[in-house]
Amino acid sequence: MCGIAAYAGRQDTVTNILTLMIELQHRGQEASGLAVASTDGEVHSFTNRGTVLEILNAENLLSAVQIRGGIFGGIGHVRYSTSGPFFHYSAQPLVVGNSRYRIAVAFNGTIANYTELAREFSMDRGDGDSTVFANLIYRLAVEFDRDVVEALRVLPEYVVGGYSVAVVTSEPRIVIARDPRGFRPLAYSFTDAEFYAASETSALDAVGAGVWMEVLPGEVISFDGKALEVARASMAECVAPCIFEYVYFSRLDSVFNGVSIYRARFEMGRELAKVAPVEADVVVPVPDSGRAAALGYGRESGMPVEEGIVANKYVGRGFIAPPPVREVVSKLKYGFVKDVLNGRRVVLVDDSIVRGTTMRSIVSRMRSVGAQEIHVRVSSPPFRYPCFMGIDVSSRDELLVWRTVYEKDIAKHVEADSLGYNTLKGLMRATGLATFCAACFTGVYPFGDLKLEDLERMFVR
């Protein structure tokens, strides 16, 4: 999972892109970068490991403001690796091309068949799917006489996976698009010759971008500094937005496919209380992504909701931490309020259990401060299958459910007194969506005849 942003207009381009990126930092913390196009046909990039604030150094900012000819606009990216090596210096946006025509590409998602594409087009796999993806877009654009819009229109004919993408070209032009299934969020605002785009609507609200619109599945939107053009992908698919965006990834104040993330998670909590009730004294959320579901659970069950866990904001999100530091993050991220937990029967509400590392650490710490009983309740169904569309779980071996078959075994593993999950029907009622991708829960992937084993064979970490 990553975050992408774009801006073109009369204001300070670099400041606007960086502000959008900061608002999207929850979507990726491994690396950050921005690329800008100058009005004289050049594309410049500035990337580094770490968060957005860590690339805000004097050298990068000075280089950006001294670009010859002025800045037309640009794109930004915050990285959470889903393929390729962790902690690799090469971050997005990736710049490809030559002196006559260059583009920079930033995307959110995963291209499952990138190794096949690399072989078919004789491309270097580089750092993973992002390298292949950027080079494929460039090659298609060149075939269509440097037309990135046409390249993105036909892109779904080549790739298996999910993506939302932002491209800035040396023309100059900014082009954004979502895949035809609409796995990943993307929204934009266009007013008075100013163009904003971001992975989440909350980022556009934060910068005062005005009235925003979500990019529809399969839409390709182009801005050349004067006019906005909208095109459609050459092929249509059944719309299948990622259900995990509603469960965990997106910010509470965002909207995805017209659905409030806050309202969806609150309703997930209410549905959870119906299917997994328990007698207890207090409902405690795992911050921050479990908070809205805990409020819903408390509303439906009639139990009070109290903040018994305090999150360390400087550690980051444990789920998207790279494997070498994931366990360390899970231990350092939370503090526990003894006054809330001591001697009480607790319903502990979280959004999901994927690998089990964080939950086991939390339950152990809660017992150490005196919790009498701990009943874990999860606002989503069991996470059973790997994802090949933008979540960093590409192997069944990573999943706790595959190592512990029964709920009682999972409860024992995380040292809880009991464990209860939501249902897929509960998620459907909570979001109000008629269709969505829930392959991580069901193992049914929206790629025609491609099954789990097919995707595992084509996807190389």
Instruction: Check if 2 is active-site.
Output: yes
Q: What is the CATH number of domain 262-433?
A: 3.40.50.2020
> Of 451, 274, 247, 440, which Cα lies nearest the Cα of 350?
247
* Tens digits of residue pLDDT in 76-124: 999 986 544 444 446 899 999 998 999 999 999 999 999 999 999 999 8
pLDDT of residue 268: 98
The encoded tokens of residue 58 equal 């004097």
Kindly give, in sequence order, each residue whose CB lies less than 8 Å from that of residue 135, ignoring residues fewer than 6 positions away.
96, 121, 123, 124
pLDDT of residue 84: 46
User: 25 near 55, Cβ under 8 Å?
Assistant: no
Other Cβ atoms within 10 Å of 210 Cβ, number? 13
pLDDT of residue 331: 63
What b/e sequence results for 113-122 when a residue is b if at least 16 CB atoms lie within 10 Å of its CB, and e otherwise? bbbbbbeeee
CA 291 to the chain's CA centroid = 19
pLDDT of residue 64: 63
Q: Which CATH architecture has domain 3-240?
A: 4-Layer Sandwich (3.60)
User: 258 near 432, Cβ under 8 Å?
Assistant: no
Among 2, 242, 437, 440, the one annotated catalytic = 2
Q: Which residue has the tokens 């965006």?
A: 245
Q: Which residue has the tokens 């006559």?
A: 100
Q: Which residues of the chain have pLDDT under 70?
A: 56-66, 68-69, 81-90, 314-331, 392-398, 400-408, 460-461
Tell me the domain boundaries of the chain.
3-240, 262-433
pTM: 0.91
pLDDT of residue 393: 65
User: 87 near 30, Cβ under 8 Å?
Assistant: yes
Strand partners, 161: 111
pLDDT of residue 70: 84
pLDDT of residue 85: 46
Helix (H) or strand (E) holding 177: strand 173-178
User: 138 near 123, Cβ under 8 Å?
Assistant: no
Coil, helix or strand for 358? helix
Helix (H) or strand (E) holding 410: helix 407-413
